Chains A and B, each alone.
Chain A
């Protein structure tokens, strides 16, 4: 039982961080109807932003996380205005292909710039808190615990923002119908900018939270990006609540799968396969994902 508990808690903690990474991706998709293939690179950028705020400006780790989110929000707003915005005009005919190309381009650009600017060697900011929490059979490093708690705070905050604030409701309205939202006086383009900025900030926040747990490298966003794509499909494209549920579910399935697969040799190497299997089974049962809406496309 204690072994199960250990695996479950580890899966839950990792799943919460997955959920935070995926929440930004799903927000962007929900409002802009754009799959942001550059999300992993923004996650990486957030990690480095936090690192330099902590080490160069001698700020506490939590300020590093907040600073990284602000920096990434600004970056996201600028990127959306300069690069994504032409997609809403008649200048771009093949909007889906345009979005894929520019967001893929963002990944390639940022990863390679990261190699040049940050260097090829691993970096790591100091932990949020050193040491390990031991509760009976439970062993949980404090930096993971704090990252999980902060992920919960950010996810709850995001949910409340979307449900309870005028701006959040405006974003939701645009996500449901751009034209209907425009009829009632909401400027969809402004909402696109806000959504992309928020999505980037969430990616940056996730990267900043994970930085002390794992390590920083220019390619650190590659795997989380793939996992985030699995999660948003699993949770339902465009559903923030779905991405939270999907992230936690993925973390649990991966952790328990590695812990209980009969072949210990292959168990860890199959981690991503567990996620893929979960996705296939979910889509067979619910083709729109756990909480998905059908027919999401840029109008």
Chain B
């Protein structure tokens, strides 16, 4: 009996001794926690945020279905930052301290990103930006901060050069945010250098009636022959509609150039025929250059969400891919290891093959993906999808040398 008791005691002791290992094994199989940030409700650009979230979730499901990363599933916590810096800052702190995420990625609004990166830097957590363009984000040169989207200086210098070649007097309509004012300054400086007359008009994103400002531009002598909008999201719909109804733009006399918000199919519902002949700065490969990954992503996204992905969705999908690749390269979900691994990766996504330089000149180039593919497209037919639109820039991908309607 005594022997039996001793045997039981020994077994119990063995079981107790084995507990930490058992717990360790369970922990190794816990999902890797990642944090996504972006606008999903007002006053942020929630339509852009929604597209980004959908793209990321598609990527998460694909990775988890394929067995996860390092043998662990991925669990993404989505934080709605509402387009407000204070929300972004609080979301970053929550993700880092409460959800214990290995890295943070996403975001659509530069002003919000600038608040988030302060927290990421403070806690030493990697932050990878999806569609935030303000130069200041990477210009801070925080080791934790990486960006897939172009810096304003990367795209708008080229866009301004193209505009300077085609137009003589340009109006720049920019939102009153870090993205808008930063982009407008880049364009204005470039036009100034090329001695192209230009006028800057600042708008508030909450505004709906832009007619008085458009009337003012129309009354200028000479009247602008191009309007470049540095405005995110759906505020552009109103600008397009109102400029068109006034007979101002897009016309043979005045071209209208917008950005990614006009890539969503709703532009046709809201603006109708006014969207025809719109020019759009599009951060995406032309369809003719899509790799297999891009084709597969577009097909899966369209099947699941019943709408074609825009370049922003592709960027969001790629951002998740970059973070996952960094975890693989690091060989762990350790925060510091991921920060370092991001400098080493060369990840082929849907839009490009991503790597992040450590050069510090110009200041915004640090951890900035520089080979961002971008085109200037023009809708030439009603209800045209962006991938079927004419490409007017760059030369290597151009499908036409004409800007419609011809003068």
Taking beta carbons and an 8 Å cutoff, which residues of A are in contact with B? 3, 6-7, 10-11, 14, 111-112, 115, 120-124, 132, 139, 141, 214-215, 217-220, 222-223, 254-256, 258-259, 264-269, 271-272
Contacts and interface: CB of A to CB of B under 8 A. Distances in A.
A121 B202 CA distance: 24
A272 B238 CA distance: 17
Interface in B234-285: 234, 237-238, 245-247, 264, 266, 269-270
A78 to B, nearest CB: 25
A143 to B, nearest CB: 8
A266 B46 CA distance: 26
B361 interface: no
Given A115-B41, A122-B47, A223 B212 contact: no
Interface in B16-36: none
Contacts of A6: 215
Given A122-B237, A265-B201, A269-B176, A214 B213 contact: no
Which 10 residue pairs are nearest across A and B when measured between Cβ atoms? Answer: A219-B42, A258-B212, A268-B213, A141-B245, A124-B270, A269-B202, A120-B47, A120-B50, A215-B270, A120-B46
A271 B203 CA distance: 9
A14 B209 contact: yes
Nearest to B175: A269
B216 interface: yes
B202 A254 contact: no
Contacts of B247: 132, 139
Nearest to A130: B272
B212 A121 contact: no
Contact of B207 (A3, A255, A264, A271): A271
Contacts of B215: 3, 6-7, 10, 259
B170 to A, nearest CB: 14
A122 B176 contact: no
Contacts of B204: 268-269, 271-272
Interface in B177-226: 199-204, 206-213, 215-216, 219
A254 B245 CA distance: 20
A122 B199 contact: no
A111 B42 contact: yes
Contacts of B207: 223, 268, 271
A214 B201 contact: no
Contacts of B203: 268-269
A7 B246 contact: no
Contacts of A115: 40-41, 46
10 contacts: A115-B46, A124-B270, A132-B247, A215-B234, A215-B238, A222-B206, A258-B213, A265-B199, A266-B202, A271-B212
B269 A214 contact: no
B213 A122 contact: no
Contact of A122 (B202, B212, B269): B269
B43 interface: yes
Given A10-B211, A215-B238, A267-B213, A124 B269 contact: yes
Contacts of B269: 122-124
Contacts of A265: 199-202
Given A215-B238, A218-B46, A255-B212, 9 more contacts: A120-B49, A121-B266, A122-B266, A215-B234, A215-B237, A220-B208, A258-B212, A259-B215, A268-B212
Contacts of A271: 204, 207, 209, 212
A122 B176 CA distance: 22
Contacts of A124: 269-270
B72 to A, nearest CB: 32
A204 B247 CA distance: 30
A264 B216 contact: yes
Contacts of A10: 209, 211-212, 215
A7 B207 CA distance: 17
A11 B176 CA distance: 23
Interface string B43-59: 10011011000000000
Contacts of B211: 10, 14, 255
A222 B82 CA distance: 14
A26 to B, nearest CB: 21
A221 to B, nearest CB: 10
A268 B210 contact: yes
Contact of A223 (B46, B206, B213): B206
Contact of A121 (B199, B209, B216, B264): B264
Given A254-B212, A268-B212, A217 B41 contact: no
Given A120-B46, A139-B247, A218-B42, A259 B212 contact: yes
In the complex, which of the residues B199, B212, B216, B245 has the most CB atoms of chain A within 10 Å of its own CB atom? Answer: B212
Nearest to A127: B272
A20 to B, nearest CB: 15
Nearest to A261: B216
Contacts of B237: 122, 215
A262 B146 CA distance: 41
B201 A268 contact: yes
Interface string B115-135: 000000000000000000000
Nearest to B307: A121
B285 to A, nearest CB: 24
Nearest to A132: B245
A259 to B, nearest CB: 5
A265 B212 CA distance: 13
Nearest to B217: A264
Contacts of A222: 42-43, 206
Nearest to B49: A120
B201 to A, nearest CB: 6
Nearest to A272: B204
A182 B200 CA distance: 60
A220 B245 CA distance: 21
B213 A112 contact: no
Nearest to A123: B269
Contacts of A7: 212, 215
